[in-house]
């Protein structure tokens, strides 16, 4: 776990809790995504890691973001600048998105298959995973011919490996043991 992720967690949680309380989760997600993109800019990143005064840095950051930040978003930027945490904004965005997905009962599932999945197969897989995970599922499908056949499904910490390649590897290991 990166140091910035650890630093970002309380800010992301506070921003998310505030957004939920004010029924503005989508608005906050847009603001944070924009601010995170600004923070990732090479020139801005150099300023963020420099020795500039926090008030001046916050002012520059808010001027760049312009009307993308409301008053509460600007307050967050000021607090981050005062605590020299503006560089953690991209990590705050990632954590905020994770809190939102949990709140919405959604999960992103990476599916790697040996061949392209048809729309019908994707719908059936999505339905099956929604039942198993008790969440709304968003599929991210990839193709890897090295799997030979079958799928590898990754949803957070859960991995379901039904590929022929994996089965052959397990058989090979068992035969060598």
Q: What is the CATH number of the domain that holds 17?
A: 1.10.520.20
- Give the number of domains in the chain: 2
- Residue 20 and residue 35 in one domain: yes
Please state which of the ranges 37-51, 86-100, 144-158 shows the lowest mean pLDDT. 37-51
- Residue 83 and residue 151 in one domain: no
**The pLDDT value given to residue 123:** 93
- Residue 12 and residue 64 in one domain: yes
Cα→Cα distances 20→24, 39, 82, 98, 135, Å: 6, 24, 25, 14, 19
> Does position 1 have pLDDT exceeding 70, yes or no?
no
Average pLDDT for 71-86: 88
pTM of the model: 0.64
CA–CA dist 32, 90 (Å, integer): 8
Show which of 102, 125, 153 is a domain's final residue. 102
> CB within 8 A of 38, min separation 6: which ones?
44, 61, 64, 65, 89
Show which of 59, 76, 102 is a domain's final residue. 102
Q: Please answer whether residues 15 and 98 qualify as being in contact, where contact means their C-beta atoms are separated by less than 8 angstroms.
A: no
> Does position 118 have pLDDT exceeding 80, yes or no?
yes
Q: Provide the residue range defining the domain that includes 142.
A: 105-176
CA–CA dist 27, 47 (Å, integer): 26
- Residue 137 and residue 97 in one domain: no
- Residue 75 and residue 9 in one domain: yes
**The pLDDT value given to residue 139:** 92
- Residue 84 and residue 110 in one domain: no
């Amino acid at each position: 776990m990166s140091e910035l992720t650890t630093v970002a967690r309380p800010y992301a949680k506070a921003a998310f809790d505030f957004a939920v309380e004010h029924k503005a989760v989508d608005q906050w997600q847009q603001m944070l995504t924009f601010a995170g993109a600004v923070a990732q800019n090479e020139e801005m990143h150099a300023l963020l890691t420099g020795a500039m005064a926090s008030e001046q840095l916050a002012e520059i950051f808010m001027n760049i973001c312009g009307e993308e930040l409301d008053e509460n978003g600007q307050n967050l930027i000021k607090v981050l600048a005062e605590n020299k945490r503006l560089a953690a904004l991209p990590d705050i965005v990632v954590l905020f998105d994770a809190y939102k997905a949990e709140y919405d009962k959604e999960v992103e599932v990476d599916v790697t298959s040996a061949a392209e999945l048809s729309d019908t197969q994707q719908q059936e897989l999505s339905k099956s995973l929604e039942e198993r995970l008790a969440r709304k599922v968003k599929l991210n499908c990839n193709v890897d011919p090295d799997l030979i056949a079958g799928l590898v499904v990754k949803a957070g910490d859960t991995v379901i490996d039904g590929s022929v390649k994996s089965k052959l590897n397990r058989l090979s290991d068992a035969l060598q043991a």
